[in-house]
Amino acid sequence: MIDLKRLRSEPAAVRAALARRGDAGLGRTLDEVLSLDAERRVILAAVETQKASRNTASQEVARRKKNGESADDLLADLKQSGDEVKRLDQQVREIDTRLDALLLTLPNLPHPDTPEGGPEANRVIRTWGNPSEPTEGCRPHWEIGEALGLLDLPRGAKVAGSGFPVFRGTGARLVRALANFMLELHTGEHGYEEVIPPYLVNQTSLRGTGQFPKFTDEVYKIGDDELYLIPTAEVPVTNLHRDEMLNEGDLPLAYVAFTPCFRREAGAHGKDTRGLIRVHQFDKVELVRLVRPEDSEADHQLLTAHAETVLQRLELPYRVLELAAGDTGFSAARTYDLELWAPGVGAWLEASSASTFTDFQARRAGLRYRPAPGAKPEFVHTLNASGVAFPRTIAALLEVHQQPDGSVRIPDALIPFFGRELIEPLS
């Protein structure tokens, strides 16, 4: 949710910032918001004046009744005044409803430093490792996974549908090892508290992080109970402190959660969907931070570094992209994507997205803190990053570390969790 007061006081700046997202419809929404807001304040002034005089007269009634005097002469006027209040209140309510609905559809303002333009303007800000050219015997992960007996895509499709992978045997063990490796890293070295949140959430939570009301198509719904499968742990974890008043000393809050994620990926079929590249269910370790506004830019760098550490320890070459204003997600102000190089498929695969949401989610979810004892409450800033998503990481891991003999080398950092140095071909 953008700040209505700011929109009112500097409409041109807000309009210019939103325009950078490249959606012409946003300007019209702004116009409507502004005009509804103006209308609302006129009616509000009227109804509050009316209420003020009603309250005064009402107190007079109370005083007289207490003294046993008659107040009948006031009651008729008050009745009329009450009806007028009710009428105006109703108008304000209607405007509020429309205003809220519009405000909920407006995306966050992009950070001023984000590149101008759409996806083509995304900027590579650094690359780590040596992305190798695809070589002769270099196979894609689905072939490796099948050959080594790690993956069973056909049976996943049978049981649930396309995009629901089955990891089996050593593959399942690899998933478990990765989960433990990442959780140990983030809880031990990076100072995150591990949480296991609900995997189903209500609509209020989805509105808090920004998936609702605009992106209902992306989320699986459990119709009978009005619950939704989480598309990312960001949703339950960010909402942990919804409508709470935090103390300055509580911040920063840093949570790490290993959860499955469920995404409908409506309309995405046929594009980049082979193997593990785009699936409906996947595991992810997610990092979520609630911080003081003045810390959020530095924290964004820190958070990104935490996610990068995972890839570095797994010895997987990657690049960091700063997303352009037009490609930055709805709730985010600034996002760094971490893309793994997958030599088998010859493509960069997004394994993490590290974003700062400034106060956008905090406004929607009521995440506030008191900067100092006795001070006015302020909204926190929220940030999150995948640390990291499993399927594409596994894809890159298989493709990068595949050996000429068909085996896959396990990177040193993972060996203690995996228990072996090599995944051998099936005999």
Binding to RNA (CB under 7 A) within 23-82 occurs at 41, 44-45, 48-49, 51-52, 54-59, 61-62, 65, 75, 78-79, 81-82
DSSP state of 127: E
Residue among 132 and 247 whose Cβ is closer to RNA: 247
Q: Which residue out of 21, 139, 207, 263 is catalytically annotated?
A: 263
Cis peptide before 165 (omega within 30 of 0): no
- Provide, for the chain, the percentages of residues in helix, strand and coil under a 3-state DSSP scheme, each rounded to the nearest 5: 45, 20, 35
d(CA 259, CA 231): 10
Q: Is 296 an active-site residue?
A: no
How far, in Å, CA of 387 to CA of 286, rounded? 5
Q: Which of 218, 363, 392, 399 is catalytic?
A: 392
Is 196 among the residues that bind RNA (CB under 7 A)?
no
Options 28, 87, 93, 274; binder of RNA; rule CB under 7 A: 93
Calpha distance 12→26 (Å, rounded): 13
| Residue 111 Cβ vs RNA, minimum distance, rounded to whole Å | 23
Residue 342's identity, in one-letter code, is: A
Set 162, 350, 370, 378: catalytic member: 350
* Nearest-approach distance from CB 65 to RNA, in angstroms: 5
| Residue 215, token pair as written in the block | 């992106």
CB-based contacts of 153: which residues, under 8 Å, 6+ apart? Answer: 142, 146, 165, 166, 275
Q: Do residues 158 and 273 touch, judged by C-beta distance below 8 A?
A: no
Residues 6+ apart with CB under 8 A from 427: none
Q: How far is the CB of 375 from RNA (least distance, A)?
A: 8
Q: Which of residues 358-417 bind RNA (CB under 7 A)?
A: 373-374, 376-377
Pick 243 or 272: Cβ nearer RNA: 243
Give the active site residue among 139, 278, 289, 363.
278
Q: How far apart are CA 168 and CA 178, in angstroms?
A: 14
Is the sign of the CA dihedral 227, 155, 174, 127 positive or negative?
negative
Is 58 assigned a catalytic role?
Answer: no
Known catalytic membership, residue 392: yes
Q: Which of positions 228-287 make contact with RNA (CB under 7 A)?
A: 245
Helix (H) or strand (E) holding 30: helix 25-66
Output 168 or 370, the one with its CB closest to RNA.
370
Give me the least distance between CB of 2 and RNA, in Å please: 12
Complete DSSP assignment for 178-202: HHHHHHHIIIIIS-PEE----SEE-
Nearer to RNA, 139 or 381 (CB): 381
- Please confirm, yes or no, whether 334 is among the known catalytic residues: no
162 is a catalytic site residue: no
The nearer residue to RNA, 61 or 102, going by C-beta atoms, is 61
CA dist 339 and 355 (Å) reads 14
Q: At its nearest, how many Å lie between RNA and the CB of residue 374?
A: 5
Q: Which of 353, 363, 368, 399 is catalytic?
A: 353
Summarize as ranges the residues that interact with RNA (CB under 7 A): 4-5, 41, 44-45, 48-49, 51-52, 54-59, 61-62, 65, 75, 78-79, 81-82, 85-86, 93, 245, 373-374, 376-377
**Catalytic site residues?**
263, 278, 350, 353, 392
